[in-house]
Amino acid sequence: MKLILFYAHSFSYKTASKSLDSVPDVNKEGGLDNAVVVFFHVEEKDEEEMSGVIQKFVKNTKWLCGKFKTKNVVLHSFNHLSSSKSSPETAQQVLHEVIERLERTDHTVIHTPFGYFNEFTINVAGDSLAKVYKEF
């Protein structure tokens, strides 16, 4: 698992084009202010360690939210951080489990459409902790 986490004053997205034929057609846009934005990449090895990977994903996200006193989270599947890739089904399973766990702790969570390339605008804060990379 690889994560790039940002604290953003604002984040917005709009679907651009489909990257997976198996996902439904959508034309969507959205955004969130005062949010931790997580670009995540699920690797092949994560398929065998799903529970631990999800736990670390959630823990790192909540940690950065705590540093910036926010409960707003944006999740974006970014399959460009490693040559090792899980199946799309596994990545979607991770995404849905992370959303569920964050929402259970009163986080507001949005995600960009899975299986799509998206246009996005992100206004990242200048603090050193506003940009964090994690690998596990």
Concatenate the DSSP letters of all residues of 9-52 into one string.
EEEEEEEEEES-TTSPP---EEEEEEEEEEEEE--GGGGGSHHH
Residue 34 counted as domain residue: yes
Amino acid 55: pLDDT = 98
Strands 72-77 and 108-111 turn out to be parallel
How far is CA 47 from its chain centroid?
A: 17
Residue 135 belongs to a domain: no
Spell out the per-residue pLDDT of the chain, length 136, in tens: 999 999 999 999 999 999 999 999 999 999 999 999 999 999 999 999 999 999 999 999 999 999 999 999 999 999 999 999 999 999 999 999 999 999 999 999 999 999 999 999 999 999 999 999 999 9
> Which of 96, 4, 81, 98 shows the shortest CA–CA distance to 43?
81
Residue span of the structural domain in which 50 resides = 2-18+29-127
CATH number of the domain to which 55 belongs:
3.50.80.10
Decide if 133 is inside a domain: no
Residues 6+ apart with CB under 8 A from 80: 41
Say what the pLDDT of residue 73 is: 99
Structure-token match 């090895």, residue found: 45
* Count of CB atoms situated within 10 Å of the CB of 33: 12
Domains identified in the chain, total number: 1
pLDDT value of position 120: 97
